[in-house]
Amino acid sequence: MYEQGMLHGTRTSTSAKRLIFFDIDGTLLDYNKRIPTSSRQAIYELKAAGHEIVLATGRSPFMLQAVAAELEIHSYVGFNGQYVVLNDQLVYANPHLTDELSRLAAVAEQSGHALVYLDHETMRASQAYDPYVEECMGSLKYPHPEYDPDFYHQRSIYQSMLFCPEHEEGQYRERFTSLQFVRWHPYSLDVLPGGGSKANGIKQLLHYMQYDPREAYAFGDNLNDMEMLQYIGNSVAMGNSPEAVKQHAKYVTTDVDKDGIANGLRMVGLLP
Protein backbone atom coordinates (compact mmCIF):
# COMPACT_ATOMS: atom_id res chain seq x y z
CA MET A 1 0.00 0.00 0.00
CA TYR A 2 1.33 3.42 -0.93
CA GLU A 3 1.45 6.37 1.41
CA GLN A 4 -1.61 8.53 1.14
CA GLY A 5 -1.86 12.31 1.13
CA MET A 6 1.45 13.24 -0.48
CA LEU A 7 -0.35 15.47 -2.96
CA HIS A 8 -2.56 17.26 -0.47
CA GLY A 9 -2.93 20.92 -1.30
CA THR A 10 -1.94 20.55 -4.95
CA ARG A 11 -5.40 21.33 -6.34
CA THR A 12 -6.26 24.79 -7.48
CA SER A 13 -9.66 26.43 -7.23
CA THR A 14 -12.63 24.90 -9.02
CA SER A 15 -12.37 27.61 -11.65
CA ALA A 16 -8.88 26.41 -12.60
CA LYS A 17 -7.46 22.89 -12.83
CA ARG A 18 -9.78 19.99 -13.59
CA LEU A 19 -9.04 16.27 -13.61
CA ILE A 20 -10.16 14.53 -16.82
CA PHE A 21 -10.02 10.79 -17.55
CA PHE A 22 -9.97 9.47 -21.11
CA ASP A 23 -10.41 5.90 -22.27
CA ILE A 24 -8.19 5.03 -25.24
CA ASP A 25 -9.73 2.59 -27.73
CA GLY A 26 -12.90 3.98 -29.28
CA THR A 27 -12.54 7.21 -27.31
CA LEU A 28 -9.15 8.79 -28.03
CA LEU A 29 -8.33 6.33 -30.81
CA ASP A 30 -10.64 5.98 -33.79
CA TYR A 31 -11.50 2.78 -35.65
CA ASN A 32 -8.08 2.85 -37.35
CA LYS A 33 -6.30 3.23 -34.00
CA ARG A 34 -5.37 6.83 -34.74
CA ILE A 35 -5.97 9.98 -32.72
CA PRO A 36 -8.27 12.30 -34.69
CA THR A 37 -6.80 15.75 -35.29
CA SER A 38 -9.63 17.44 -33.38
CA SER A 39 -9.03 15.19 -30.36
CA ARG A 40 -5.29 15.88 -30.36
CA GLN A 41 -5.91 19.62 -30.51
CA ALA A 42 -8.49 19.41 -27.72
CA ILE A 43 -6.03 17.61 -25.42
CA TYR A 44 -3.36 20.23 -26.10
CA GLU A 45 -5.84 23.00 -25.27
CA LEU A 46 -6.80 21.29 -22.00
CA LYS A 47 -3.16 20.96 -21.01
CA ALA A 48 -2.45 24.57 -21.93
CA ALA A 49 -5.30 25.61 -19.63
CA GLY A 50 -3.64 23.73 -16.75
CA HIS A 51 -5.96 20.73 -16.56
CA GLU A 52 -4.70 17.29 -15.47
CA ILE A 53 -5.17 14.59 -18.13
CA VAL A 54 -5.25 10.91 -17.15
CA LEU A 55 -5.63 7.91 -19.44
CA ALA A 56 -8.09 5.29 -18.13
CA THR A 57 -7.79 2.10 -20.11
CA GLY A 58 -7.87 -1.67 -20.14
CA ARG A 59 -4.46 -1.58 -21.80
CA SER A 60 -1.22 -2.52 -20.10
CA PRO A 61 1.36 0.24 -19.57
CA PHE A 62 3.48 -1.07 -22.44
CA MET A 63 0.43 -0.96 -24.71
CA LEU A 64 -0.49 2.65 -23.94
CA GLN A 65 2.92 4.27 -24.17
CA ALA A 66 2.60 5.32 -27.82
CA VAL A 67 -0.61 7.24 -27.09
CA ALA A 68 0.82 8.70 -23.88
CA ALA A 69 3.97 9.84 -25.69
CA GLU A 70 2.06 11.36 -28.61
CA LEU A 71 -0.15 13.39 -26.27
CA GLU A 72 2.57 13.97 -23.62
CA ILE A 73 0.46 12.41 -20.86
CA HIS A 74 2.26 11.11 -17.77
CA SER A 75 -0.60 9.73 -15.68
CA TYR A 76 -2.82 6.73 -16.29
CA VAL A 77 -5.14 4.15 -14.83
CA GLY A 78 -4.08 0.96 -16.62
CA PHE A 79 -5.26 -2.66 -16.66
CA ASN A 80 -8.85 -1.53 -16.02
CA GLY A 81 -7.84 0.01 -12.70
CA GLN A 82 -5.20 -2.45 -11.44
CA TYR A 83 -2.14 -0.25 -12.10
CA VAL A 84 -2.25 3.49 -11.42
CA VAL A 85 0.50 5.95 -12.27
CA LEU A 86 0.57 9.66 -11.47
CA ASN A 87 3.25 11.80 -13.12
CA ASP A 88 5.27 8.68 -13.97
CA GLN A 89 5.13 7.35 -10.38
CA LEU A 90 3.27 4.16 -9.44
CA VAL A 91 0.72 4.93 -6.70
CA TYR A 92 -1.49 1.81 -6.70
CA ALA A 93 -1.16 -1.79 -7.86
CA ASN A 94 -3.52 -4.75 -7.51
CA PRO A 95 -2.13 -7.97 -9.06
CA HIS A 96 -3.84 -11.32 -9.49
CA LEU A 97 -3.28 -14.07 -6.93
CA THR A 98 -1.08 -16.75 -8.49
CA ASP A 99 -3.15 -19.63 -7.08
CA GLU A 100 -6.29 -18.17 -8.61
CA LEU A 101 -4.63 -17.87 -12.01
CA SER A 102 -3.51 -21.50 -11.72
CA ARG A 103 -7.11 -22.62 -11.23
CA LEU A 104 -8.28 -20.42 -14.11
CA ALA A 105 -5.54 -21.79 -16.37
CA ALA A 106 -6.53 -25.38 -15.60
CA VAL A 107 -10.19 -24.79 -16.49
CA ALA A 108 -9.28 -22.86 -19.64
CA GLU A 109 -6.97 -25.64 -20.79
CA GLN A 110 -9.66 -28.28 -20.21
CA SER A 111 -12.13 -26.15 -22.19
CA GLY A 112 -9.74 -25.48 -25.06
CA HIS A 113 -9.64 -21.74 -24.39
CA ALA A 114 -6.51 -19.63 -24.59
CA LEU A 115 -5.35 -17.09 -22.02
CA VAL A 116 -2.99 -14.15 -22.35
CA TYR A 117 -1.20 -12.95 -19.21
CA LEU A 118 -0.09 -9.31 -18.93
CA ASP A 119 2.31 -7.59 -16.59
CA HIS A 120 3.38 -3.96 -16.87
CA GLU A 121 6.13 -4.74 -19.39
CA THR A 122 4.95 -7.50 -21.71
CA MET A 123 2.48 -10.35 -22.30
CA ARG A 124 2.56 -14.08 -22.99
CA ALA A 125 0.02 -16.63 -24.25
CA SER A 126 -0.99 -19.98 -22.78
CA GLN A 127 -1.14 -21.51 -26.27
CA ALA A 128 1.40 -21.33 -29.06
CA TYR A 129 -1.34 -20.27 -31.47
CA ASP A 130 -5.05 -19.54 -31.17
CA PRO A 131 -7.16 -17.91 -33.91
CA TYR A 132 -9.20 -15.91 -31.40
CA VAL A 133 -6.00 -14.54 -29.86
CA GLU A 134 -4.70 -13.57 -33.28
CA GLU A 135 -7.96 -11.83 -34.24
CA CYS A 136 -8.44 -9.99 -30.95
CA MET A 137 -4.85 -8.85 -30.57
CA GLY A 138 -4.86 -7.87 -34.24
CA SER A 139 -7.79 -5.55 -33.54
CA LEU A 140 -5.43 -3.72 -31.17
CA LYS A 141 -2.66 -3.75 -33.79
CA TYR A 142 -0.60 -6.29 -31.84
CA PRO A 143 0.72 -9.68 -32.98
CA HIS A 144 -0.08 -12.98 -31.32
CA PRO A 145 1.93 -13.00 -28.04
CA GLU A 146 4.78 -15.43 -27.54
CA TYR A 147 4.02 -18.78 -25.91
CA ASP A 148 4.81 -19.15 -22.21
CA PRO A 149 2.14 -20.97 -20.18
CA ASP A 150 4.10 -20.50 -16.94
CA PHE A 151 4.58 -16.76 -17.35
CA TYR A 152 2.20 -15.95 -14.48
CA HIS A 153 4.38 -17.90 -12.04
CA GLN A 154 7.29 -15.56 -12.71
CA ARG A 155 5.67 -12.12 -12.81
CA SER A 156 3.03 -9.96 -11.14
CA ILE A 157 0.02 -10.30 -13.46
CA TYR A 158 -2.41 -7.39 -13.28
CA GLN A 159 -4.83 -8.56 -15.96
CA SER A 160 -5.47 -11.61 -18.08
CA MET A 161 -7.44 -12.09 -21.27
CA LEU A 162 -9.67 -15.11 -21.75
CA PHE A 163 -10.55 -16.05 -25.33
CA CYS A 164 -13.93 -17.63 -25.93
CA PRO A 165 -17.28 -16.68 -27.52
CA GLU A 166 -19.99 -15.26 -25.31
CA HIS A 167 -22.02 -18.46 -25.09
CA GLU A 168 -19.04 -20.27 -23.52
CA GLU A 169 -18.18 -17.75 -20.80
CA GLY A 170 -20.84 -18.77 -18.26
CA GLN A 171 -18.80 -21.53 -16.66
CA TYR A 172 -16.07 -19.06 -15.75
CA ARG A 173 -18.44 -16.59 -14.13
CA GLU A 174 -20.01 -19.43 -12.15
CA ARG A 175 -16.76 -21.07 -11.03
CA PHE A 176 -14.67 -17.94 -10.40
CA THR A 177 -16.97 -15.62 -8.48
CA SER A 178 -14.00 -13.77 -6.96
CA LEU A 179 -12.81 -12.61 -10.39
CA GLN A 180 -14.21 -9.89 -12.64
CA PHE A 181 -14.92 -10.78 -16.27
CA VAL A 182 -15.43 -7.87 -18.67
CA ARG A 183 -16.07 -8.59 -22.34
CA TRP A 184 -14.26 -6.24 -24.72
CA HIS A 185 -14.46 -8.26 -27.96
CA PRO A 186 -16.87 -10.91 -29.32
CA TYR A 187 -14.12 -13.47 -28.66
CA SER A 188 -12.38 -12.11 -25.57
CA LEU A 189 -12.87 -10.99 -21.98
CA ASP A 190 -10.57 -9.12 -19.64
CA VAL A 191 -10.10 -10.99 -16.38
CA LEU A 192 -9.47 -8.78 -13.33
CA PRO A 193 -8.78 -9.48 -9.67
CA GLY A 194 -11.87 -9.42 -7.47
CA GLY A 195 -13.33 -5.93 -7.10
CA GLY A 196 -11.18 -4.62 -9.92
CA SER A 197 -12.52 -1.99 -12.28
CA LYS A 198 -11.57 1.31 -13.84
CA ALA A 199 -13.81 2.97 -11.27
CA ASN A 200 -11.85 1.43 -8.39
CA GLY A 201 -8.49 2.44 -9.87
CA ILE A 202 -9.79 5.97 -10.37
CA LYS A 203 -11.11 5.95 -6.82
CA GLN A 204 -7.64 5.06 -5.55
CA LEU A 205 -6.09 7.91 -7.54
CA LEU A 206 -8.69 10.45 -6.43
CA HIS A 207 -8.15 9.44 -2.81
CA TYR A 208 -4.40 9.84 -3.26
CA MET A 209 -4.91 13.29 -4.77
CA GLN A 210 -7.70 14.27 -2.37
CA TYR A 211 -9.95 15.06 -5.34
CA ASP A 212 -13.74 14.93 -5.30
CA PRO A 213 -15.13 12.54 -7.98
CA ARG A 214 -18.10 14.87 -8.41
CA GLU A 215 -15.73 17.50 -9.82
CA ALA A 216 -13.87 15.14 -12.18
CA TYR A 217 -14.62 14.33 -15.83
CA ALA A 218 -14.49 11.04 -17.73
CA PHE A 219 -14.89 9.97 -21.36
CA GLY A 220 -15.49 6.36 -22.40
CA ASP A 221 -17.21 4.14 -24.94
CA ASN A 222 -17.30 0.49 -23.91
CA LEU A 223 -18.64 -1.93 -21.30
CA ASN A 224 -15.53 -1.66 -19.13
CA ASP A 225 -16.22 2.09 -18.87
CA MET A 226 -19.69 1.83 -17.34
CA GLU A 227 -18.64 1.88 -13.68
CA MET A 228 -16.25 4.77 -14.37
CA LEU A 229 -18.98 6.78 -16.09
CA GLN A 230 -21.35 6.08 -13.22
CA TYR A 231 -18.77 7.03 -10.57
CA ILE A 232 -17.46 10.28 -12.06
CA GLY A 233 -19.69 13.34 -11.70
CA ASN A 234 -19.21 14.69 -15.22
CA SER A 235 -19.23 11.61 -17.43
CA VAL A 236 -19.42 11.57 -21.22
CA ALA A 237 -20.18 8.53 -23.39
CA MET A 238 -18.98 8.56 -26.97
CA GLY A 239 -21.61 8.46 -29.69
CA ASN A 240 -20.21 5.10 -30.83
CA SER A 241 -20.91 3.56 -27.41
CA PRO A 242 -23.45 0.74 -26.96
CA GLU A 243 -26.76 1.95 -25.55
CA ALA A 244 -26.04 0.26 -22.21
CA VAL A 245 -22.94 2.45 -21.83
CA LYS A 246 -24.74 5.65 -22.79
CA GLN A 247 -27.29 5.01 -20.05
CA HIS A 248 -24.55 5.23 -17.42
CA ALA A 249 -23.23 8.62 -18.59
CA LYS A 250 -24.43 12.10 -17.79
CA TYR A 251 -23.76 13.28 -21.35
CA VAL A 252 -23.50 11.65 -24.78
CA THR A 253 -21.28 13.22 -27.43
CA THR A 254 -20.76 12.40 -31.12
CA ASP A 255 -18.79 9.45 -32.50
CA VAL A 256 -15.02 9.26 -32.02
CA ASP A 257 -14.51 9.96 -35.74
CA LYS A 258 -16.96 12.85 -35.72
CA ASP A 259 -15.07 15.13 -33.31
CA GLY A 260 -16.54 13.30 -30.31
CA ILE A 261 -13.86 14.40 -27.85
CA ALA A 262 -13.89 18.06 -28.87
CA ASN A 263 -17.68 18.19 -28.96
CA GLY A 264 -17.96 16.50 -25.58
CA LEU A 265 -15.50 18.91 -23.98
CA ARG A 266 -17.53 21.82 -25.32
CA MET A 267 -20.67 20.16 -24.01
CA VAL A 268 -19.31 20.09 -20.44
CA GLY A 269 -17.82 23.57 -20.69
CA LEU A 270 -14.12 22.70 -20.72
CA LEU A 271 -13.57 24.07 -24.23
CA PRO A 272 -15.10 27.22 -25.73
Q: Which residues are CB-contacts of 205 (< 8 A; sequence separation ≥ 6)?
A: 54, 75, 77, 84, 86, 91, 92, 211
Phi first, then psi, for residue 192 (nearest 5°) are: -115, 155
- Which residues belong to the active site? 23
The residues that bridge with 162 in the sheet, in sequence order, are: 115, 189
Handedness of CA 126, 132, 136, 138 (dihedral sign): positive
Work out the angle at residue 221's Cα, subtended by the Cα atoms of residues 120 and 152, and round it to the nearest 5 degrees.
25
The one-letter code for the residue type at 82 is Q
Element (H, E) at 159: strand 159-163
Q: Alpha carbon of 111 to those of 107, 146, 189, 241: distances in Å?
A: 6, 21, 15, 31
- Pick from 231, 222, 230: nearest CA to 59: 222
Distance between CA atoms of 237 and 245, rounded to whole angstroms?
A: 7
